[in-house]
Amino acid sequence: MADRPELPQRKATVLHAVVEAYVATGEPVGSETIADRAGLGVSSATIRNEMSSLEEQGYLSHPHTSAGRIPTDAGYRHYVDALPAPTKLKDAQRRQIAAHFAEAILDLEEVLKGSVNLLSRLTQYAGLAVPPGPSDEHLVRLEVIDMGPTLLVLAVGQHGRVDKHIVDRPEHIDPKAVADAERRLNGVRGSSYVDAQVSLLQMAAVEAAGVHDVLLIAADVLRMATEGERAGHVVIGGVANLADDAQAWRRDTLRRLFETLEREQDMLHVLQDIAPADDVRVTIGDEHPTTGEWGASIVAAPFKAGEATVGTIGIVGPTRMNYLAAMTAVRAVADRLTEASGDAEH
Q: Which H, E and C letters describe the chain, residue by residue?
A: CCCCCCCCHHHHHHHHHHHHHHHHHCCCECHHHHHHHHCCCCCHHHHHHHHHHHHHCCCEECCCCCCCEEECHHHHHHHHHCCCCCCCCCHHHHHHHHHHHHCCCCCHHHHHHHHHHHHHHHHCCEEEEECCCHHHCEEEEEEEEECCCEEEEEEEECCCCEEEEEEECCCCCCHHHHHHHHHHHHHHCCCEHHHHHHHHHHHHCCCCHHHHHHHHHHHHHHHHHCCHHHHCCCEEECCHHHHHCHHHCCHHHHHHHHHHHHCHHHHHHHHHHHCCCCCCEEEEHHHCHHHHHHCEEEEEEEEEECCEEEEEEEEEEECCCCHHHHHHHHHHHHHHHHHHHHHHCC
Angle between helices 44-56 and 9-25 (to 10 degrees): 90
Sheet strand arrangement including 296-305: 235-237, 126-130, 308-318, 296-305, 281-284
pLDDT score recorded for residue 343: 57
Report the C-alpha gap between 137 and 230 in whole angstroms.
13
pLDDT recorded at residue 248: 59
| Residue 16 confidence (pLDDT) | 93
pLDDT value of residue 242: 77
pLDDT at 104 (0 to 100): 43
Amino acid 60: pLDDT: 94
Regions of the chain short of the pLDDT cut 50 = 104-105, 346
> For position 338, what pLDDT does the model report?
85
Edge-to-edge strand list for the sheet holding 139-146 = 139-146, 150-157, 162-168
CA distance 147 to 165: 12
Q: What is the pLDDT of residue 276?
A: 81
Q: Nearest CA to 127 among 329, 303, 345?
A: 329
What integer pLDDT is reported at residue 75 of this predicted model? 94
> Looking at residue 63, what is its pLDDT?
82
